[in-house]
Amino acid sequence: MAASWNASRDARPEASRLLIERAHEELIAGNLDDSRLQQVRPLVRDSWERSWRRRVGPEGAPQLELVSEELEQYRLAHPLASAMDMIRALLLPGSAEDSGVIVAVGDQAGRLLWVEGDPHVRTLTGDMGFVAGANWSEDAVGTAAPGTALALGQSVQIRGAEHYNRLVHPWSCTAAPVRDPETHHVLGVIDITGGDEVVSTQARLLVDATARAVESELLVSRLRSRAAAHRSPAPVHSGRGTTRGVLHVLGRDRALLETDSEFGERVIELSARHAAIMLMLAVHRQGLSAERLAELVYGEGASPDTLRPEMVRLRKVLERTASGLIPESRPYRLPMTLETDAQDVLSLLDRGAHRVALTAYRGPVLPESSSPGVEELRETVRSALREVMFSEASLDVLLAYAEIPEGQNDAEVLRLALEMLPARSPKRAGLVARIEKLEA
């Protein structure tokens, strides 16, 4: 699902580049009626004219508006700070050192807050002022993907000589604004800068998808915070009041229970049986009878007498670590909502945040558990993910799905990806080989 920037470059013909450069020189000279300007893309031509009328200089580095501690404090408080790990995972997978590109994230005013990626490219672009704290709005540097995307409120690709500032002509870039998921006001911008490979159609789709994924994650985070704020205070046992709980069960045989309380955050590992019990209570928030919970955890026909000793042991564990989550009885239920990463994936799929859901999917639900309720949820998540891959996912997401265990040996997934790939894609040969191996 993440980017691979080592693609072959679809370079623009030299004659076209020279035409753009000459049109740019005429614009800088004030010859707005020169016929060559009409051969430049309207989006670029309009941006050039805005820059010229605002008397933006065609050379020179932009102003550094945020430095040192001021930059760090501003970054920590910015809404996009919480999304940086997601942005890195989507746009700088694996080793950023050999990616050949840099990823920049800026605020709504065009000031770059994070600039990360290939160290060599960062050194070269740093010479033209493409660094954290610098202002890359149109008013500051003229036509460039970050500033022009903010000016137009849409994703933008600027190739080489289309930049207004001559120092930026060796580079190309794609950028997309990120909006507040509720007010739709622009929060900032995401940009990739490098060679011609970063202005491909695939690159634009990926940057757009990353921006939408960030917006979805911001909304989910807010909804969680609001739900926590409106919950009734958890009962306090042994001086500990749990205010929030998250159960991590994806790709883990022993679940992790993460809790917040007045004493701070805490993470504990649950036994396989306790994990199954807590997961069933988290999923069935309305509560379960002793008979039904025993069946979900132990199997059909299991006696509640088998369950009760385990519930006593679970309560003792929670008394020491997360008193607000001690189950109530008759029926068994949790006194507060316990979130799970498995349900988060299902929620993201429902919201259309397919790329984010795939990133959040760490593997099957408690893969070694044989509890019927766990097996049912495991299959629900797996099936929902696969169904979305077939019906709605983009090619990038489908290819990423084909790399996780669930997709690696799925010949149908591989064949669909093969159908969606361009005829000359270098990835086709690898997919064909994998399909032949599976069907041998």
In this structure, the answer to whether residues 222 and 244 fall within a common structural domain is: no
**pLDDT at residue 6, as a whole number:** 58
Q: DSSP string of 74-111? A: HHHHSGGGGGHHHHHHHHS-S-GGGSS-EEEEEETTSB
What mean pLDDT do residues 169-198 have? 94
CATH of the domain at 290: 1.10.10.10
In this structure, the answer to whether residues 151 and 203 fall within a common structural domain is: yes
Q: What is the pLDDT of residues 244-269, one digit of tens each?
A: 788 999 998 889 998 876 555 678 89
Helix, strand, or coil here: 133? coil
What mean pLDDT do residues 76-105 have? 87
Q: What is the pLDDT of residues 107-135, one digit of tens each?
A: 999 999 999 999 999 989 988 999 999 99
In this structure, the answer to whether residues 134 and 267 fall within a common structural domain is: no
Does position 236 have pLDDT exceeding 50, yes or no?
no
- The more confident residue out of 355 and 184 is 184
The answer to whether residues 192 and 99 touch, using CB atoms and an 8 Å cutoff, is no
Residue 278 and residue 113: Cα distance in Å, rounded? Answer: 41
CB atoms within 10 A of CB 417: 25
Residue 396 and residue 330: Cα distance in Å, rounded? Answer: 48
In this structure, the answer to whether residues 238 and 220 fall within a common structural domain is: no
CATH of the domain at 45: 3.30.450.40
In this structure, the answer to whether residues 278 and 365 fall within a common structural domain is: yes
**Number of domains present in the structure of the chain:** 2
Residue 290 and residue 395: Cα distance in Å, rounded? Answer: 46
In this structure, the answer to whether residues 45 and 167 fall within a common structural domain is: yes
Domain contains 404: no
- Using the 3D structure, point to which of 381, 402, 430 is the last residue of a domain: 381
**pLDDT at residue 238, as a whole number:** 40
Domain contains 421: no
E strand spans, 142-273? 156-158, 172-179, 186-194, 242-248, 256-261, 264-269
The distance of Cα 359 from the centroid of its chain, to the nearest Å, equals 7
Residue 408 and residue 86: Cα distance in Å, rounded? Answer: 23
Domain contains 274: yes
How many Cα atoms are found within 13 Å in the side-chain-facing hemisphere of 91? 35
Domain contains 352: yes
Does position 230 have pLDDT exceeding 60, yes or no?
no
- Using the 3D structure, point to which of 195, 226, 257 is the last residue of a domain: 226
Paired residues of 332 in beta bridges: 288
Start-to-end CA distance of the chain, whole Å, equals 27
In this structure, the answer to whether residues 221 and 285 fall within a common structural domain is: no
The answer to whether residues 275 and 366 touch, using CB atoms and an 8 Å cutoff, is yes
pLDDT band of residue 184 (cuts 50, 70, 90) is confident
Percent of the chain clearing pLDDT 90 (strictly above): 54
Does position 137 have pLDDT exceeding 90, yes or no?
yes
Residue 83 and residue 181: Cα distance in Å, rounded? Answer: 13
Q: What is the pLDDT of residues 294-352, one digit of tens each?
A: 999 999 989 999 999 999 999 999 988 788 899 998 899 999 889 899 998 898 888 77
In this structure, the answer to whether residues 291 and 148 fall within a common structural domain is: no
**pLDDT at residue 14, as a whole number:** 54
Does position 229 have pLDDT exceeding 70, yes or no?
no
**pLDDT at residue 439, as a whole number:** 86
Does position 425 have pLDDT exceeding 90, yes or no?
no
Residue 116 and residue 229: Cα distance in Å, rounded? Answer: 35
- The more confident residue out of 350 and 281 is 281
pTM here is: 0.54
As to burial, measured by CB atoms within 10 angstroms (0-12 exposed, 13-18 middle, 19+ buried), residue 81 is middle
- Using the 3D structure, point to which of 381, 410, 430 is the last residue of a domain: 381
In this structure, the answer to whether residues 331 and 315 fall within a common structural domain is: yes
In this structure, the answer to whether residues 99 and 18 fall within a common structural domain is: yes
**pLDDT at residue 234, as a whole number:** 43
In this structure, the answer to whether residues 102 and 244 fall within a common structural domain is: no
Give the residue ranges of DSSP H helices in 201-339. 201-230, 272-283, 290-298, 304-321
* Radius of gyration for the chain, computed over Cα atoms and rounded to the nearest angstrom: 26
Mean pLDDT, the chain, integer:
87
Percent of the chain clearing pLDDT 70 (strictly above): 90
Residue 144 and residue 156: Cα distance in Å, rounded? Answer: 9
How many Cα atoms are found within 13 Å in the side-chain-facing hemisphere of 330? 0
Give the helix/strand (H/E) hosting 104: strand 102-107
In this structure, the answer to whether residues 56 and 177 fall within a common structural domain is: yes
Q: What is the pLDDT of residues 24-42, one digit of tens each?
A: 888 888 888 888 888 899 9
Give the helix/strand (H/E) hosting 82: none
Domain contains 179: yes
Domain contains 43: yes
Helix, strand, or coil here: 421? coil
Which tokens belong to 312?
Answer: 């006593």
Domain contains 141: yes
**pLDDT at residue 423, as a whole number:** 87
How open is the CA angle 321-219-181, to the nearest 5 degrees?
A: 165
What mean pLDDT do residues 75-86 have? 92
Find the domain containing 275 and state its range. Answer: 234-381
What strands, in cross-sheet order, belong to the sheet with 102-107? 112-117, 102-107, 186-194, 172-179, 156-158
CB atoms within 10 A of CB 339: 18
Domain contains 417: no
**pLDDT at residue 5, as a whole number:** 64
Q: What is the pLDDT of residues 379-413, one digit of tens each?
A: 999 999 999 888 877 888 888 888 888 888 899 98
